[in-house]
Amino acid sequence: MSEIIFVKAREILDSRGNPTIETEVVLESGAVGVAAVPSGKSTGKFEAVELRDGDKSRFNGKGVLNAVRNVNEVIAENIIGMEAQDQYLIDKTMIDLDGTPNKSKLGANAILSVSLAVARAQANELGISLYKYLGGLNANLLPVPQLNILNGGAHADSGLDIQEFLILPVNFTSFKEAIRAGAEIYRSLESILKKKGYSVGIGDEGGFAPKVKNTEEALSLIVEAITNANYIAGKDIFLGIDSASSGFFKDGYYNFEGAKLTSKEMIDFYENLLSKFPIISIEDGLAEEDWDGWIEFTKRLGDKIQIIGDDLYVTNIERFSKGVELKATNSILIKLNQIGTLSETLKVIQFARFNGFNAIVSHRSGETADAFISHLVVGMTTGQIKSGAPARMERVEKYNELIRIEEELGENARFAGINVFKKFLK
Ligand SMILES: C=C(OP(=O)(O)O)C(=O)O
Ligand SMILES: [Mg+2]
């Protein structure tokens, strides 16, 4: 047991060059925990509040000095003296100190940086890896990576409406081999794009951002890349998309690929895609307030594919409970900074499990070198992680950390592989 004696936050930069917060926590024993918070661009309307200064003279208003001050001057004096092992109590103390339903007073970024740094400090205090602290002996499952190799939407200027085109390597015996296949396919896609005269510039999450015609062309290029890399699409590698469709939903319609579609027409579009491509996962296929559409979507396609709510749920237990009750999806995306504490995130993952939902732990489009999510996904044995392309160091670092974890687990490591999708493959 060791109590917190020092808490200090600072403003650092994220992968887009925007400011974000990092916090350091020191325990009486000398154990230290440092954690940095990422930042989204296609953020959900119902996410907890990321506190930004609004002072246009610094970072065009995006500074986080107020959040830093909230850690150093408000949170610090309230948690110094608390035991680092009391994660739930520390998180509750911060939630109560904030006192708002969306953490708008202190900032979810401020609160989360402390929450994660405390967990790290406690793992270091115990002298064990973070994933082992989170999950103990049960923490031996390595996730299927969802690798975003072609970018659109708010993350790139490819002109594609769909934000993320993902490959999911499943037919492998280890995470390391799965990521190798992913990286080979990424490079294979680069060669194809070059040969066809497309740009090989990349988007925020490291995927290529060619100005291709539409979704079908993007998916065809990816299938070709899989084949050229000597893998079989639909067996070794499945496809996924994150439409981030709240970004093109307006006044009840989806403004998609030049047309104005109803929810039903959007679902028809996805159903047609499934008949042409080995897609196993669709995230945010519909918008964050289109509950009726989601119910229909899951009724029609929920036994064939993983249907993930991201902006729909924002890792919030209330919105997620509603989704479970309404059968709005069969899966949930998990982003720590959508809700703002580790303990609330753990509860949402547990709730997903109780209800037979897949949980996919995710990075944000603005990232740091912090690989906390790699430990979270193994600690909670969720079986899937989404961390962008197998390129750009802030993305790769999450995958590299999983390679290290797999090595540490040795013969006890298991790769989730096809198991996480078995229920969709009858
Ligand atoms: C990672 C995503 O993007 P962002 O961080 O911009 O919300 C996403 O939508 O899943
Ligand atoms: Mg998303």
For a mutational test of ligand 1's pocket, the pick from 362, 367, 384, 398, i.e. the residue with the most ligand atoms closer than 8 A to its C-beta, is 362
Active site residue 177: no
Nearest atom, ligand 1, residue 40 CA: 5
Above 90 in pLDDT, residue 82?
yes
Above 90 in pLDDT, residue 426?
no
* Mean pLDDT computed over 307-325: 98
Residue corresponding to tokens 């490079």: 187
Compute the distance between CA of residue 371 and CA of residue 23 in angstroms, rounded to an integer. 14
Residues contacting residue 375 through CB under 8 Å, at least 6 positions apart: 129, 130, 131, 134, 401, 405
Helix (H, G, I), strand (E, B) or coil at 247: helix
Compute the C-alpha angle 261/40/326, nearest 5°. Answer: 50
Q: Is residue 364 within 6 Å of ligand 1 at its C-beta?
A: yes
* Mean pLDDT computed over 144-160: 95
Nearest atom, ligand 1, residue 364 CA: 5
pTM equals 0.98
ipTM of the complex: 0.99
Q: Which domains does the chain have, with CATH numbers?
A: 3-127 (3.30.390.10), 141-421 (3.20.20.120)
Ligand 2 centre to CA of 28 (Å) is: 40
Which parts are annotated binding residues for Mg(2+)? Answer: 242, 283, 310
Structure tokens at 346: 């753990």
Q: Is residue 310 within 6 Å of ligand 1 at its C-beta?
A: yes
Kindly report, residue by residue over 16-33, the tens digit of the pLDDT. 999 999 999 999 999 999
* Mean pLDDT computed over 195-203: 97
Active site residue 205: yes
Ligand 2 centre to CA of 336 (Å) is: 13
Which parts are annotated binding residues? Answer: 155, 163-164, 242, 283, 310, 335, 362-365, 386
Compute the distance between CA of residue 151 and CA of residue 181 in angstroms, rounded to an integer. 19
Ligand nearest to the CA of 242: 2
* Mean pLDDT computed over 377-396: 98
Kindly report, residue by residue over 185-198, the tens digit of the pLDDT. 999 999 999 999 99
**Residues paired with 416 in a beta bridge:** none
What is the CB-side half-sphere exposure of residue 328 using CA atoms within 13 A?
27
CB contact burial 12-31 (16+ within 10 A = b; e otherwise)? eebbeebbbbbbbbbbeeeb
pLDDT at position 103 is 98
User: What is the separation, in whole angstroms, between the first and last Cα of the chain?
Assistant: 49
- Percent share of the chain, pLDDT over 70: 100
For a mutational test of ligand 1's pocket, the pick from 15, 161, 164, i.e. the residue with the most ligand atoms closer than 8 A to its C-beta, is 164
